[in-house]
Structure 1
Amino acid sequence: MTVVAFLSVAPVREGSMAADVADAVDALEAFDVEYETTPMGTVVETDDVGELMDAVEAAHRAVDADRVSTFLKIDDKRTATSSAADKVERVEAHLGREARSGSE
């Protein structure tokens, strides 16, 4: 896959946002994307930037709130195919360990 993105969708309000974030993540299921949710956002991968944008719009619209904040960062490497996992593996190769604390 060549398009890797970081997506964060959340309502702007006080209190837990977990249910709203779950709605945004669930909306991604309707699209030809792979994703992994982290505590700060969701990494999304696809071969097509158009598919990504459609998925982002659906995730944004899935949050039912008066105000919704969506952050999107896209890495569209057009000359090579590299997954998010590949990118992490290259960093880990330089570290000589997993890219997380407490790893051995």
Structure 2
Amino acid sequence: MTVIALLSVAPVTEDSMAEDVADAVAALDEAGVAYETNPMGTVIETDDIGTLLDAVQAAHEAVDGDRVSTFLKIDDKRASDQRAFEKVDAVEEALGRPATSHQDPDDG
């Protein structure tokens, strides 16, 4: 079984959240889970739901703030062990190209 989740943890603030997000990501390192951070959140991959939830709790608690917002979306695929990269590979195969675009908005 593979459990894949999209996690976003951030303090509710108008200031930069980079240091707080870095604290949450560091907590994922300490939890020993596989993850990939992107501009909108972090994708976590574990073998079981318990490990995932422990890692999410650690990331949530790592953010120091008066108010912390955490969003979690879980894909608990119980019938197979499809990894996160394999999901992306399947989309790219159907698309016929890499599923990325690195367009710079300043390039016009």
- Give me the TM-score of the superposition, normalised by structure 2: 0.91
Runs of 4+ in 1 over 6 A off after TM superposition: none
- Give 3-state SS (helix, strand or coil) of 1:65's partner: coil
For residues 53-64 of structure 1, the aligned pairs below 5 Å read: 53-64=53-64
* Conservation of the 8 A alpha-carbon contact between 2:31 and 2:58: no
- Give 3-state SS (helix, strand or coil) of 1:13's partner: coil
User: How many aligned positions are there?
Assistant: 103
* Conservation of the 8 A alpha-carbon contact between 1:34 and 1:44: yes
Work out the CA distance in 2 between the residues paired with 1:82 and 1:31.
Answer: 22
The residue that corresponds to 2:6 in the other structure is: 6
Deviation at 1:32, TM superposition (A): 3.4
The residue that corresponds to 2:37 in the other structure is: 37
Work out the CA distance in 2 between the residues paired with 1:25 and 1:8.
Answer: 10
Identical residues among aligned pairs (%): 67
- Give me the TM-score of the superposition, normalised by structure 1: 0.95
Root-mean-square deviation (CA, aligned residues, Å) is 1.4
Contiguous gaps of at least 5 residues in structure 2: 104-108
